[in-house]
């Protein structure tokens, strides 16, 4: 069975290994992101708001994709929202290196079962 993600990767010449490598480089925390995470943790312990201390979110998510998560996504199995976000970020990074336009998550996961989503019951 072929999924939209698998078709998209193959049509652009990307591999699962390349996707994992791109994700690991994007999500690796820089020194600025680490210091920002420490400041946010200190703000939480001091019961202060992030807006009060003018703290923003770190750009990286801290950990790249693993082979198991990519395999599940390529097979069309349900994956978590954060995993989908990391896949889209890695795909967009790979597209940017080829000087192509970025894509939205719907273009990669429109056919996938969304984990935790249930259709609304009709009244």
Give pLDDT tens digits for 32-79: 888 888 998 999 999 988 888 888 888 887 788 999 999 999 988 888
Give me the helices (H) in 12-116, please.
Answer: 16-27, 31-45, 50-53, 67-74, 81-97, 106-109
Percent of the chain having pLDDT more than 70? 90
Q: What is the pLDDT of residue 79?
A: 87
Rounded Cα gap, residues 46 and 60, in angstroms: 24
pLDDT of the residue at 1: 56
Would you say 65 and 86 are in contact if contact means Cβ atoms under 8 Å apart?
yes
**Distance between CA 23 and CA 17 in Å, rounded?**
10
Report the pLDDT value the prediction gives residue 116, as an integer from 0 to 100: 64
């Amino acid at each position: 069975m072929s999924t939209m993600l698998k078709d998209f990767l193959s049509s652009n010449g990307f591999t699962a290994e390349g996707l994992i490598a791109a994700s690991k480089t994007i999500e690796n925390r820089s020194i600025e992101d680490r210091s920002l995470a420490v400041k946010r943790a200190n703000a939480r312990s001091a019961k202060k708001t992030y807006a009060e201390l003018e703290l923003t979110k770190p750009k990286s998510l801290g950990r790249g994709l693993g082979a198991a998560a990519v395999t599940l996504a390529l097979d069309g199995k349900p994956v978590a929202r954060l995993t989908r976000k990391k896949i889209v970020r890695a795909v967009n990074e790979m597209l940017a290196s080829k000087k192509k336009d970025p894509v939205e998550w719907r273009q990669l996961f429109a056919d996938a079962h969304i984990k935790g989503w249930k259709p609304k019951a009709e009244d």
